[in-house]
Amino acid sequence: MTRRPDGIRGTTITGTGMYVPDRVLTNDDLSRLVDTSDEWIVERTGIRERRIAAPDQASSDLALIASRRALAMAGVDPADVDHIMVATTTPDRILPSCACTLQQKLGGTRAAAYDMFAACTGFVFGMGIARGLVGSGIADTVLVVGVETLSRIVDYTDRNTCVLFGDGAGAAVLQACDTGVGVHAVDMHSDGELGEVLEVPAGISRNPASDDTVAGREHFIRMQGKKLYPFAVRSMAEATQRCAEQAGWDPSEIDLLIPHQANLRIIEAVRERLGLPAEKVYVNIDRYGNTSSASIPIALDECVRGGRLKPGDKLGLAAFGGGATWGATVMTWTLPLERARRAAAAPGAVKATVS
């Protein structure tokens, strides 16, 4: 394993996994709950259906399946994981963290486990922190999970938000690799001035749960979608450009871009800004809607298991979300196709559909 002259180790993804619940909620189902239509939702967002967790499924249950799949692909025993980082806006509870619950279910007893609240950018932030831990030698193996049960904080009487969100989990194992490949750059940003554009107004210290907050439906997501739209396009495109620059690439050299799946029109606008053809940008929003921190690792696992990524490919991941937060990462893919194929063929493997 080569190190850079400054002692920094290369960091790469050695396994991915995803899980989405079985229950499908279609646009027609939603049109029976609120004043909307399949036509409006598809035209404005690209979403056709989303998955909804069963009543007895919490975020850690979804995360467990995705994590087991990622660890199996990487050939890593849970006991050998050094850090478990769970990016989520919908942990099982505030205490204990979703990551600690996941650690207990996985049997990853050695790992430091903690949650990260960075909304839809959580997985990209997780990649950045994992790269720091592995690159510096503090950790050898980091499990980064993005998981959401957003259906629990979506107001199914609000047509502005309820059509957008879905549930799911994705996970990736990050480990050391030769320098020159793996993660080249991670770009991470936040702007708290935009906090009120996307919020859950009540439930914790600012506005604790009370009869009034429940009656006012203040425990659900509220969003000013129009304000987020231009910010989303600009922030994802610019973060990807900065990462490509650091890697010494022109953005058009990227072989596969996986953007956060919030809205098909946002994805299209980012693609145009970066000068990428449609076949280089992965889209699955039609099937899952916006799964926030889970959207990128779910899409990544579909690409890995579907044979869409081969060693040497230039991969970009880009996200934006509430907070506001935004960021990107670029890497040279290292995982052998054979390993992904074996994992895809293993009993209980996720069926991959690659567009």
- What number of other Cβ atoms are within 10 A of residue 30's Cβ? 20
Query: Min. distance of Cβ 18 from ligand ACO in angstroms?
Result: 17
Q: How far is the CB of 290 from ligand ACO (least distance, A)?
A: 5
290 is catalytic: yes
- The reply to whether 284 sits near ligand ACO by the rule CB under 6 A is no
Active site residue 243: no
233 binds ligand ACO (CB under 6 A): no
Query: Does residue 223 touch ligand ACO according to CB under 6 A?
Result: yes
Q: Which of 160, 179, 190, 213 binds ligand ACO (CB under 6 A)?
A: 160
Check binding of 321 to ligand ACO (CB under 6 A): yes
Residue nearer to ligand ACO on the CB measure, 96 or 203: 203
Q: Which two tokens stand for residue 304?
A: 């890995």
Query: In whole angstroms, what is the distance from residue 299 CA to residue 353 CA?
Result: 10
Question: Token pair for residue 189?
Answer: 């940003």
| Cis omega (within 30 of 0) for bond into 247 | no
Nearest CA among 290, 294, 301 for reference residue 98: 294
Work out whether 226 is an interface residue with ligand ACO (CB under 6 A).
yes
Residue 322 sits in the site that holds ligand ACO (CB under 6 A): yes
Residue 280 Cβ, how far from ligand ACO at the closest point, in Å?
21
Residues between 12 and 71 that touch ligand ACO (CB under 6 A): 36, 40-41, 44-45
Interface with ligand ACO, residue 189, by CB under 6 A: no
Q: Which residues pair with 257 in a beta bridge?
A: 281, 316
Residue with tokens 């290292």: 334
- Give 45 or 101: the residue with its C-beta nearer to ligand ACO: 45
Active-site entry in 27, 184, 260, 263: 260
Torsion, Cα of 305, 90, 76, 297 (10° steps): 30
DSSP secondary structure letter of residue 107: T
- Smallest distance from the beta carbon of 75 to ligand ACO, in angstroms? 33
Token digits of residue 13: 């993804």
| Amino acid at position 207, single letter | N
User: Shortest Cβ contact with ligand ACO: which residue?
Assistant: 225
When the beta carbons of 133 and 163 are compared against ligand ACO, the nearer one is 163
Looking at residue 17, its amino acid is: G
Residue given tokens 């559909």 in the structure block: 353
Structure tokens at 229: 């739209």
What 3-state DSSP class applies to 259?
strand
The span from the first CA to the last CA of the chain, in angstroms, equals: 35
Is 160 one of the annotated active-site residues of the chain?
no
For the bound state, the minimum distance from the C-beta of residue 115 to ligand ACO, rounded and expressed in Å, comes to 16
Please say whether the dihedral angle defined by the alpha carbons of residues 118, 46, 26 and 68, taken in this order, is positive or negative. negative
Q: Select from 68-76, 125-133, 222-230, 281-289 the region that touches ligand ACO (CB under 6 A).
A: 222-230
Positive/negative CA dihedral, 340, 13, 167, 291 = negative
Pick the catalytic residue: 120, 162, 177, 243? 120
As measured in angstroms, the least distance from the Cβ of 4 to ligand ACO is 35
Q: How far apart are CA 154 and CA 36, in angstroms?
A: 16
Residues in the chain: 355
Catalytic residues: 120, 260, 290
Binding positions for ligand ACO, rule: CB under 6 A: 36, 40-41, 44-45, 119-120, 159-160, 163, 198, 223, 225-226, 228-229, 232, 262-263, 290, 292, 321-322
